[in-house]
């Protein structure tokens, strides 16, 4: 796919026309590749999914790091901020077999459990801080 064809996938949207980075093959659909787009001059990152077989932009979302999402306070212990360099491009398909995530429902369930676990851990930390 040529760059003009790639950018044509999201023409008319507010996504930056920059070189996509950190391609990662979707665990749910082997035709879909996820990319990061970093806007020049600021720390805005976009996550996009492109179906390479049908040449369709399936989804896009601005990346919101944990500190922004949880309204991070500078009074708390500082954390490492995301700078877009923690995603490693991989050839997942070489390792996927019958045990791979093949269901969007299973993927959603696993993500929900992680979110619930983080919320419980956070509540536990807040309770300890009050005592």
Same structural domain, 17 and 46: yes
Same structural domain, 81 and 38: yes
Q: Convert the pLDDT of each residue in 30-64 to its tens digit.
A: 888 888 888 777 777 888 888 888 888 888 887 76
Higher pLDDT pick, 74 / 32: 32
Q: Which helix (H) or strand (E) holds 57?
A: strand 56-62
Q: Which helix (H) or strand (E) holds 33?
A: strand 32-38
| pLDDT of 85 strictly over 80 | no
Same structural domain, 123 and 78: no
Residues contacting 45, CB < 8 A, separation 6+: 36, 37, 38, 39, 62, 63, 82, 84
Q: What range does the domain containing 108 cover? A: 101-131
* Domain count across the chain: 2
Same structural domain, 35 and 86: yes
| Of 67, 68, 57, 65, the residue nearest 20 (C-alpha) | 57
Higher pLDDT pick, 87 / 36: 36
Task: Note the maximum CA span of the chain.
Answer: 59
Q: Which helix (H) or strand (E) holds 96?
A: none
């Amino acid at each position: 796919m040529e760059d003009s064809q790639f950018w044509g996938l999201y023409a008319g949207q507010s996504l930056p026309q920059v070189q996509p980075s950190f391609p990662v093959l979707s665990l749910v659909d082997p035709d879909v590749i996820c990319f990061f787009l970093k806007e020049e001059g600021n720390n805005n990152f976009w996550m996009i999914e492109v179906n390479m077989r049908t040449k369709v932009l399936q989804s896009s979302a601005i990346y919101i790091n944990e500190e922004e999402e949880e309204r991070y306070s500078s009074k708390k212990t500082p954390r490492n901020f995301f700078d877009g360099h923690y995603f490693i491009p991989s050839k997942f398909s070489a390792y996927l077999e019958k045990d791979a995530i093949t269901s969007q429902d299973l993927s959603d369930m696993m993500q929900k459990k992680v979110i619930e676990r983080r919320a419980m851990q956070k509540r536990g930390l807040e309770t300890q801080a009050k005592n």
